[in-house]
Amino acid sequence: MPEQEEDTVDDVAGARFAEKFFDPSTHRLQLDFGAATHTGNVRTNNEDHYAIVERRRTTELILTNLAAGDVVLTDDADFAMVVADGMGGHNCGELASRVALQRMFELAQQATSWVMKYTGLEVQQIRERVEAYIQEIQATLREHMQADPARWGMGTTWTMAHLLPPRALVVQIGDSRAYLMHDGELQQVTRDETMAQAFIDSGMTPESVQKFRHMLVNSLGGTKDDVTFQLHHLALGPSDRLLLCSDGLTDMVSDEEIGNILRQTTAPQAACDKLVAVALANGGRDNVTVALAAASSTWLPINR
């Protein structure tokens, strides 16, 4: 046997080799969604935008001489949720968040590969995919600013969840938050990229830095040349809930209230409507936007 073929045999001999290409899990999650947005009680326009997207890969058996029932084919689906809170004044915030979402849709159609499983993907590969999207969106916002000086400095937060049940990838830029409700307990997944949070991290009390809570240190667009992002990899289980929201919710509704609403309201859309209603009742000083994914359990057979 030639040496090259011997090397190939050695390469595939490892027991874990196949795990790079196949997901052995038989457990699948059903996801249901809800979303809501409102201008609020003070603002005259809504600078928030959101989107929830499903992409599906279907397998259809055309011809075979296998017996009926010998082949079990299932559809694969992935989902994306995005909340973007624009900033910049003179309607530029509304433009920035809208353009960012539009560019995301364009890039998704142009992507040379479609990730349907996280199994086998290295952390660096995932980061590179995310960075490619972020760079392109940032470049598009820069083009808009250069085309019209009145748009200079416009920007948007960007909080996105890519859901490949039972896993999720959360990307954050700015201070629109992601929360995970797991076993009835609400936890904040993301970290606010604000001057206030930076001061808190340095030892100052939250009460002493309230006036800095809306000063972003990172955003899409804006005046900085470089944009960084947070990347959070989550495992989803039955009854888990993943919430994305703009600060119009978290400024008006405490984490305790958010948790209570998610625990008490089963239907995702009803929970979103309730969250927005409470934010408005508590003052509604900003645009408020929420997007929610609720997981439930389904089991699929394995055909061997």
Predicted local confidence at residue 3, as pLDDT: 40
pLDDT, residue 174, reads: 96
User: With contact defined as beta carbons under 8 Å apart, do 212 and 199 qualify?
Assistant: yes
Contact between 222 and 216 under an 8 Å Cβ cutoff? The reply is yes
Q: How far apart are CA 153 and CA 158, in angstroms?
A: 16
Distance CA 262, CA 274 (A): 9
91: left (phi over 0), alpha (psi -120 to 50) or beta: left
Q: To which H or E segment does residue 289 belong?
A: strand 288-299
Phi first, then psi: what are they for 187, rounded to 5°?
A: -130, 140
Point out which residues pair with 233 in neighbouring strands.
169
User: Residue 121 has what pLDDT?
Assistant: 61
3-class secondary-structure state, position 263: helix
Neighbours of 221 (CB within 10 A): 32
10-residue mean pLDDT series, the chain (304 residues): 40 53 64 97 96 90 89 84 90 94 94 66 81 95 93 95 92 97 97 93 89 92 88 93 98 98 97 98 97 81 36
Q: Is the dihedral of CA 164, 167, 173, 178 positive or negative?
A: positive
**Which tens digit of pLDDT belongs to each residue from 184-232?**
999 999 999 999 999 999 999 988 988 898 899 999 998 887 899 999 9
Q: Which residues pair with 50 in a beta bridge?
A: 83
DSSP label at 225?
S
pLDDT at 105: 94
Which three-class secondary structure state does DSSP give residue 170? Answer: strand
**Predicted pLDDT at 217:** 93
pLDDT of residue 118: 67
The domains of the chain, with CATH numbers, are: 27-57+72-299 (3.60.40.10)
Structural element, H or E, at residue 129: helix 123-147
